[in-house]
Amino acid sequence: MRLLEFLNSPSDGSPSGAAVPHTSHFLHLARRFFASLSPTPLDQNETGWVRATLTPPEIALFDAMPLHDRRHALDVARRVDQSLLGTAERGDRRWMVAALLHDVGKAESGLGVPGRVMATLLAWVWGRETVAAWAGRPGVRGRSGLYIDHPDRGAELILVAGGPPEAAAWARLHQQTGTATVPGMPDIVRAALAAADDD
């Protein structure tokens, strides 16, 4: 089932998917931060579409995400669906799973929005690899490590749930800017996913 057929017109304030000028990047991040503090709950149509699109094990992963991640995932799926209008890729379940579950690894950290900001700052200061290696340690350091390592952890969760390998590959690679290819994924889809993900 195609997403746009389930949803109301995008008049709920969600971003249009337009490219963000780099000069306003920090303003954009600030806007995302405050939006994540009071996310819009998924309406009945959105919830119905998610349940019609994902398998039961994938639904369990989706439902394990906090509301602001579920709202972000749904918004990404909406933008990807719009981007693929008129292409042969539209309606392919694999690309919607990739959008809906790309950040699923974040849930394991249990960090709220302020904690995520702190983890991001730690990774900025110490480097992503150093902080990701803290995963498994107790306390805030361990949670920060889990959060920064969310691409790999999300990919594993998708594979364990029996999800599409292409969706797992996207989860693993989605934070890497300039990712040239994703195994099994047409470039038009990779570009649509990258443009739709604004975090």
Q: Which residues bind Fe ion (CB under 5 A)?
A: 103, 197, 199
Going by C-alpha positions, the residue among 102, 115, 101 that lies closest to residue 146 is 115
Which residue, 92 or 199, has its beta carbon nearer to Fe ion? 199
Q: Could you tell me the smallest distance in angstroms from the CB atom of residue 129 to Fe ion?
A: 16
Which residue, 58 or 103, has its beta carbon nearer to Fe ion? 103
Q: Could you tell me the smallest distance in angstroms from the CB atom of residue 140 to Fe ion?
A: 20
CA atoms lying within 13 Å on the CB side of residue 153: 19
Q: Could you tell me the smallest distance in angstroms from the CB atom of residue 20 to Fe ion?
A: 14
Which residue, 103 or 166, has its beta carbon nearer to Fe ion? 103
Residue 146 CA to residue 152 CA, distance in Å, equals 10
Q: Could you tell me the smallest distance in angstroms from the CB atom of residue 197 to Fe ion?
A: 4
Going by C-alpha positions, the residue among 29, 55, 53, 26 that lies closest to residue 42 is 53
Q: Could you tell me the smallest distance in angstroms from the CB atom of residue 102 to Fe ion?
A: 6
Which residue, 149 or 197, has its beta carbon nearer to Fe ion? 197
Q: Could you tell me the smallest distance in angstroms from the CB atom of residue 80 to Fe ion?
A: 12
Which residue, 7 or 107, has its beta carbon nearer to Fe ion? 107
Which residue, 46 or 103, has its beta carbon nearer to Fe ion? 103
Q: Longest Cα pair distance anywhere in the chain, in angstroms? A: 49
DSSP 3-state of 188: helix
Using CB atoms within 10 Å of the CB of residue 3, give its burial: 0 to 12 exposed, 13 to 18 middle, 19+ buried.
buried
Residue type, 10: P
